[in-house]
Amino acid sequence: MAVQTLTRFDAYADAPEKKYALYMMMLGFSALALGTFFGPLQAFNYGGLDLYPLLKPVFQNYYQGLSLHGVLNAIVFTQLFAQTIMIYLPARELGLRPNMKLAWASFWMALAGLLIAAVPLLLNEASVLYTFYAPLKASWAFYTGAAIFVLSSYLSIYIALELWLRWRRANPGKITPLATFMAVAFWLMWFLASLGLVVEALFLIPWSLGLLPGVDPLLMRTLFWYTGHPIVYFWLLPAYTLAYVTLPKLAGGKLVSDPLARLVFVLFLLFSVPVGFHHQFADPGIAPYWKFIHTVLTMMVAVPSLITAFTIAASLEVAGRANGGKGLLGWIAALPWHNPTVLAFLLGFLAFIPGGAGGIVNASFNLNQNVHNTVWIPGHFHLQVGTLVTMAAMGTAFWLIPHLTGKPLVARGLAVASQWLWFLGMFIMTFALHWMGFLYAIPRRAHISGSPLAMEAFKESSAWMALNIVSGVILLVAAVLFFYVIFATALQGHRDPKRVLEEVPFAEAISKPEGSGLARVTERVWFWFGLAAVLVVLAYGPVLYQMFTNMLPVPGVRLW
């Protein structure tokens, strides 16, 4: 009886930020649930099986499904998860309350933007995919809703910075605690990164309203990729933050180096943005030497991930040995694989190794010619965002929902099963997609299962196609299990007061920031931010200037 007496009010009275974090996160997972539903349909497409005729009249065609999949998963879910983690963790770490009025404003703004954009998406009025390349033209409501949604993240930037500055005033001369440092670098990076989309929206919204006769496709693509590359780190860094500040403790150990983790985030602040041309190697109108400069900078932005590979693996080794693991590799078996959160991170990071290697292939100018616009590319990014980022979020939900609500995790066994199946399904799918792209040049974004001609042309790869069907089924089961576990956990009536009090599992560091020269240098956040801005101006300024002064506007088309 005692556990039933905690009302909803009691659970959040002392920590309204918990309610905010819960709502943000569950909204994100709701978007993911709908967006993920289309994933297996796409995997089946690349297995030669077309299920879209069965979905009419609710969903009209493959590109409507693909647009919903890309937008809901890659833009909506990821941003809402960032707005959860990168506000909640610093607030807890500093023991300060974020500005709750603005926090709720950001939630309602995100929800409103999402709903406004969802209407045309669901009506097949915005099947322009998540990259919305002009001259494909969607309904004005899509661009406006998307702009409102993205602008809600500007409130998050303000909330995080205000929280940090408030702490700094009260603690002069002290080194910012790690999760907060990461959040500050992260939100500043996003501010710089998001400017491309903001400027693009200033063209697309009037164009879709008929106030502008045309837009320049090359300029629109360039503005998109200005944001479109760093946005992948906007997805990734909440996962990295959780891996640095919580995973070592959850695995039973410590973070080996706090200062090195700070360096990683400064490097992301510096190098995330000025690299977007690696998505435009095949575009005319950008001189090869600019593409080369962005190639070199892309190699730079792989460095913080390589440092992360080292730091996280070493921290896991410390944990495995603390758990009694012996010998060269015995520590791996001694990690708590039965813990669904730790499992999700371990499997996600394992997938991230080939995903990162594939990224280096993509970034290599000549090799890119071989893989660009083939299904190799969805193979690459389902290892990155579809596996590591999504599994980090799923794994975190397994402790965060109980922590926020006081409701114990339902069906732990199913939670563990969902992570193994997700990993297995993604592994099989991405393996098949890589080879189908590389060996048979099968294009991405192609509704091949609806075209007998295409199926005939690609029949040599039928063995790989069969793997896509298998992976689609496995991933569907994994998704059903996962969403059952989190929604059953969050919606149950049972609350356990002990859970309400449980703290965020912040890990201790072996090498601490106090007394570290590196930590002192990284602490000069505004300097690094300024340097990042200068790099962006140098890497993009001349090309953008040329594009803005030589625009070739074209009217919109609707191909679906």
| Window 220-249: contact mask with Cu ion (x via CB under 5 A) | ---------x--------------------
Would you list the DSSP string of 493-515? Answer: S---HHHHHPPP-PPPEEE-STT
350 binds, among Cu ion, ligand HEM, ligand HAS, none (CB under 5 to 8 A by kind): ligand HAS
81 is catalytic: no
| Window 77-96: contact mask with ligand HEM (x via CB under 6 A) | x-------------------
444 is catalytic: yes
Is residue 228 at the binding interface for ligand HEM, with CB under 6 A as the rule?
no
Q: Which residue has the tokens 């990461």?
A: 182
Q: In whole angstroms, what is the distance from residue 477 CA to residue 403 CA?
A: 26
Q: Which of 33, 49, 293, 309 binds ligand HAS (CB under 6 A)?
A: 309
CB distance 436 to 462 below 8 Å? no
Closest among 155, 159, 167 to 194, alpha carbons compared? 155
302 binds, among ligand HAS, ligand HEM, Cu ion, none (CB under 5 to 8 A by kind): ligand HAS
Q: Give the nearer residue to Cu ion in terms of CB position, either 235 or 331.
A: 235
Helix and strand element counts for the chain (H, E): 24, 2
- The amino acid at residue 263 is L
Per CB under 6 A, which of residues 193..232 are in contact with ligand HAS? 232
Q: In whole angstroms, what is the distance from residue 310 CA to residue 424 CA?
A: 24
Which residue is catalytic, options 69, 221, 229, 434?
Answer: 229
Burial class (CB in 10 A: 0-12, 13-18, 19+), 278: buried
Q: How far is the CB of 300 from ligand HAS (least distance, A)?
A: 10
294 is catalytic: no
233 is catalytic: yes
Instruction: Give how many residues touch ligand HAS by CB under 6 A.
Output: 35
494 is catalytic: no
Q: Which stretch, 39-47, 215-223, 312-320, 544-552, contacts ligand HAS (CB under 6 A)?
A: 312-320
Q: In whole angstroms, what is the distance from residue 395 CA to residue 505 CA?
A: 13
Which residue is catalytic, options 277, 381, 438, 529?
Answer: 381
Instruction: Give residue number: closest CB to ligand HEM.
Output: 39
Q: How far is the CB of 38 from ligand HEM (least distance, A)?
A: 8
Q: Which two tokens stand for residue 68?
A: 């919903």
229 is catalytic: yes
445 is catalytic: yes
Q: Which stretch, 53-61, 79-87, 357-365, 404-412, contacts ligand HAS (CB under 6 A)?
A: 357-365
Cα 541 from chain centre: 27
Cα 259 from chain centre: 24
For residue 279, the 8-state DSSP code is G
Side-chain half-sphere exposure of 521, counting CA atoms within 13 A: 11
Q: In whole angstroms, what is the distance from residue 248 CA to residue 217 CA?
A: 46
Q: What are phi and psi of 443, to 5 degrees?
A: -70, 150
Cα 448 from chain centre: 28
Q: Give the nearer residue to Cu ion in terms of CB position, either 221 or 229.
A: 229
Q: In whole angstroms, what is the distance from residue 340 CA to residue 414 CA?
A: 9
Contacts with ligand HEM, residue ranges (CB under 6 A): 36, 39-40, 42-43, 46, 66, 69-70, 73-74, 77, 129-130, 378, 382, 385-386, 390, 429, 444-445, 472, 475, 479
Binding site for ligand HAS (CB under 6 A): 131, 232, 235-236, 278-279, 298, 301-302, 305-306, 308-309, 312-313, 316, 332, 346, 349-350, 352-353, 356, 359-360, 362-363, 368, 372, 377, 380-381, 384-385, 389
Would you name the residues annotated as active-site residues?
229, 233, 380-382, 444-445
